[in-house]
Structure 1
Amino acid sequence: MITALLASILAPGEGADAAHAEDAAHGAGGLPQLDPSSWPGQLFWLAVTFGLLFFLLSRVVLPKIATTIENRRDRIADDLDAAAQNKREADEAVAAYERQLADAKAKAHAIAAKNKAKVDAEIAEESEAAEAEVAARQAAAEARITEMRTEALAHVKDVAAETASVLVETLTGTAPDKKSTTAAVKSVRQG
């Protein structure tokens, strides 16, 4: 059988006839893979096919897959490194932004304090000037009031003397002299 199988492999035309003749002689029908007489040829071709597939897989396919996996692993590692670098840069940018924001706030507070001090100084200066002007006006008003009072008091004596003179003239019918009415008003005021 093995010789017939090998003969059919080496000489396809002759072995095929012999195999058909043998099948016809046995009267076998059905599935040839279940026929134990064809198993050695099937095992031979199984071994050859397995060997070829193993060779192709081990020499061609598996190295390409290994290279692809290695490239992918390297690309993932590079991407992770780039992501870590980007995160560090982002953290540095956030820290720089926060420093700049804090500096800007400090400058704004300093400018606000400076402007407040300047405005307070201007207000104090204007308040002092206004108070000085009010005090000067008040002093001038008081001086004027004192002057008017003194003048009024001086005129009160004259008005009182004149009124007394008119009253005496009206009551008595004779006009008194100016000296006597002034002396009488003066004595009444003192007394």
Structure 2
Amino acid sequence: MFVTSAFAEESAPAAEGTAGAGAETHAGTAVPGEAHGTFPPFDPATFPSQLLWLAITFGLFYLFLKRVVMPRLGGIIDVRNDRITQDLDHAAKLKGEADAAVAAYEQELAEAKTKANAIGQQANDAAKAEAETARKKVEAALDKKLGEAEASIASIKANAMKEVGSIAEDTASAIVEALVGGKASKAEIAAAVKSVAR
């Protein structure tokens, strides 16, 4: 225990005034005046022992760090690195699986589009074939009706042409009678009508 000189001087008269064991206690705790100097850690005389203990403490602390703390930290870092490596490998594996799934999906989508196009083409071809069949049926029916109509027109025309000859002969005979006043023979009128009809 450190006691300053002023405190020691003040406590000395008090120690004289007290009796018995109390005075001896105060007198025994007083520090002589010449012992007061610099603080021991700052005393140059204690530097070698301080440096020795500093080296011993540093060496022990270094050995403690090297033998105990650093292996544990190294183990923790190794475990963490292993875990990170495993996580990265697992992530790479999952990414590969995801890429494979995406590729499979895209392939299935392409196949589905191809099938849909094929089905659409088949339906289109079937519709065209049906339309072509229906068109041919309609054309055949129209050709038949057209043939019948042409035959009917030819028949009507032939009948009309027969009637035209006789009408022309009657008309020519009536015109000759009106203009000339006499009758012409039927053979002459028929020959004249035939020559004009050519």
The Cα of 1:156 is off from its aligned counterpart by: 0.5
Are 1:118 and 2:146 matched, yes or no? no
- Work out the CA distance in 1 between the residues paired with 2:188 and 2:34: 186
CA-CA distance at 1:188 after TM superposition = 3.2
Residue 196 (structure 2) pairs with residue 188 (structure 1): no
Partner of 1:82: 90
Tell me whether 1:143 sits opposite 2:151 in the alignment.
yes
TM-score, length-scaled by structure 2: 0.67
Cα deviation for residue 162 of structure 1 reads 1.9
Other structure's SS at 1:162 match: helix
Moved more, 158-167 or 49-58: 49-58
Alpha-carbon contact 2:173-2:189 (below 8 Å) kept: no
- Mark the runs of 5 or more structure 1 residues left unpaired by the alignment: 1-16
In the TM superposition, residue 154 of structure 1 has moved relative to its aligned partner by: 1.4
The residue number in structure 1 matching 2:65 is 57
**Residue in 2 aligned with 1:7?**
none
CA shift digits 1:144-178 (9 cap, x unpaired)? 220121111111122112202322332355677xx
Match of 1:3 in 2: none
Amino acid paired to 1:93: A
CA contact (8 A) 1:165 1:175 kept: yes
Looking at structure 1, the residues matched to 144 and 150 of structure 2 have their Cα atoms a distance apart, in angstroms, of: 10
Q: What does 1:150-189 correspond to in 2, within 5 Å?
A: 150-173=158-181, 181=186, 183-189=187-193
Rounded to whole Å, the distance in 1 between the matches of 2:131 and 2:144 is 19
| Matches of 1:121 and 1:184, distance apart in 2 | 65
AA partner of residue 161 (structure 2): L
* Equivalence for 2:137: 129
Aligned partner of 1:46 in structure 2 is 54
Query: What is the identity percentage for the equivalent residue pairs of Structure 1 and Structure 2?
Result: 39
> Offset of 1:114 from its aligned partner?
0.6
Which whole-Å CA distance do the structure 2 matches of 1:161 and 1:187 have between them? 9
Aligned residue runs from structure 1 range 15-54, under 5 A: 24=34, 29=38, 32-33=41-42, 35=44, 37-54=45-62
- Normalised by the length of structure 1, the TM-score is 0.69
Give the C-alpha shift of residue 100 in structure 1.
0.5
Structure 2 Cα separation of the partners of residues 157 and 113 of structure 1 = 63
Partner in structure 1 of residue 9 of structure 2: none
Residue 167 to residue 47, structure 1, CA distance change in 2 (3 Å): same
Number of aligned residues: 166
How far residue 67 of structure 1 moved from its aligned partner, in angstroms, is: 3.0
Which ranges in structure 2 are unaligned for 5 or more consecutive residues?
1-28
In 1, the alpha carbon distance for the partners of 2:189 and 2:153 equals: 24
Give the match's secondary structure for 2:123.
Answer: helix
Alpha-carbon distance, 1:64 to partner: 3.5
Contact preservation (8 Å) 2:165, 2:193: no
CA distance in 2, matches of 1:34, 1:143: 149
